[in-house]
Amino acid sequence: MLTFDENELQWAESIFRKIDAKMEKTLPRTKGVIPYRVENGKFENMVKKNICWWTNGFWEGLLWLLYSRTGKQAYREAAQQGETLLDGAFRNYPRLHHDVGFLWQLSAGLDYKLTGNSESRLRALFAASILMSRFNLDGGYIRAWNDYPDDDTSGWSIIDTMMNLSILYWASKELGDARFARVARAHADKSLHHHLRPDGSSKHIVVYDPQTGEELAERAGQGYACGSAWSRGQAWALYGFVISYHHTDKQEYLDASKRAANFFIASVQEDWLPRCDFRSPEQPVVYDASAGAIAACGLLELATLLPVEEGRCYKQAALHLLREMEAHFCDWNPDSDGILHYGSINYKEPEGRNRYLVYSDFFFTQAITKMLGSDLEIW
């Protein structure tokens, strides 16, 4: 059970007001834009650049978070504009990937939950069906990507997929059809045994034999190296497994989330500002605020589902992450885009390090609204 004292609530309320104030200024600059990262103070627009890009639902999700708390029509209208633009991704079906969950759960899915829009319901159901079609029946996993330079990715599973399972749990309930949730559970079971290491750290990419499902190899992904601990992947595991627990009551998923959380908490340094990889050299310092924001959401969810006494350490860890990131990473300048600085796309690409990223803003805002008691069922 999750409760906060007066000071904690006042702090969250003051941060929410700052987010709202900055987003009100940002909205007029972002008409027709689906933002990804910030270049020279301005959001990069993915509508023409790559409408299928995996992050294209977070902007709409952020706007729905703001709408659900403020009721301001401008947020709703902008979220619905983004959702309509995203239809271009359906028309590019061969380029779609496992992140159809992120794309449509946070855009159409939240629109349907908040407004009852029947077209949005259809979009979210199409997305769930696309995700289902990526399940490899012989291998027992959801295929992550289609293309990767010079590689056959048919056997590739990534820990990130755990976050996309929500749309399958939702579709099962919505249609009264158990198959979607069955596939979600099958993928979660496989990931539990193959992605999570005994020490609680997570592999980013696991390569299976697509005919048998046998694990063939671990691959380095966006972290420092093969065998390291990419912090965003760790956060996807932490949050993804507790979401699967929420939908299934399966104890192993809760235990997996706690293992991932314990590893995250043990690995984050004294300053609570997450590095991009928990097993990278001390220098250069590469932060990943998105990992901190995602982890904070997962930790708050753990604290919600666990008895107070057991959940306390997870709640405290979430508060440390949020407060330190707010103090050191947040940018409240109304004239530039992006809120939470120091997110990293990929450890190995210097230009991908220490950036403003739309998904950092989404998860940071989600954590703050969760502290304020939001009952919006996002995942």
Please identify every residue annotated as catalytic.
99, 160
The least distance separating ligand GLY from the CB of residue 233, rounded to whole angstroms, comes to 7
Beta carbon nearer to ligand GLY, 37 or 76? 37
Residues in the chain: 379
Residues 86/110, Cβ–Cβ less than 8 Å: no
Residues in binding contact with ligand GLY, number by CB under 6 A: 4
Of 194 and 232, the one with the shorter C-beta distance to ligand GLY is 232
Q: Which residue is nearest to ligand GLY (CB)?
A: 160
Bridge partners (DSSP) listed for residue 202: 196
Tell me how far, at minimum, the Cβ of 298 lies from ligand GLY, in Å.
14
Cβ 98 vs Cβ 131: under 8 Å: yes
CB of 268 to ligand GLY, least distance (A): 18
Which residue, 83 or 160, is less far from ligand GLY as judged by CB?
160
Does 258 participate in binding ligand GLY (rule CB under 6 A)? no
Q: CA-to-CA distance for 270 and 291, rounded, in angstroms? A: 16
Instruction: State how far the alpha carbon of 162 is from the alpha carbons of 71, 143, 200, in Å.
Output: 31, 12, 15
Q: How far is the CB of 347 from ligand GLY (least distance, A)?
A: 11
Residue (136 or 222) nearer to ligand GLY, CB: 222
- Does position 54 interact with ligand GLY (CB under 6 A)? The reply is yes
Which residues from 139-168 bind ligand GLY, rule CB under 6 A? 160
Q: Yes or no: say if 202 and 157 are a contact pair by the CB < 8 Å rule.
A: no
Judge residue 5's burial from the number of C-beta atoms within 10 Å of its C-beta, 0-12 exposed, 13-18 middle, 19 or more buried.
Answer: exposed
Name which of residues 210 to 249 contact ligand GLY (CB under 6 A).
222, 232
Please, which of residues 59-98 interact with ligand GLY by CB under 6 A? none
Decide whether 261 or 319 has the Cβ nearer to ligand GLY: 261
C-alpha distance from residue 123 to each of 88, 94, 97, 119, 328 (Å): 12, 17, 15, 6, 38
Minimum distance from CB of 176 to ligand GLY (Å)? Answer: 30
Footprint on residues 314-353 left by ligand GLY (CB under 6 A)? none
- Interacting residues with ligand GLY (CB under 6 A): 54, 160, 222, 232
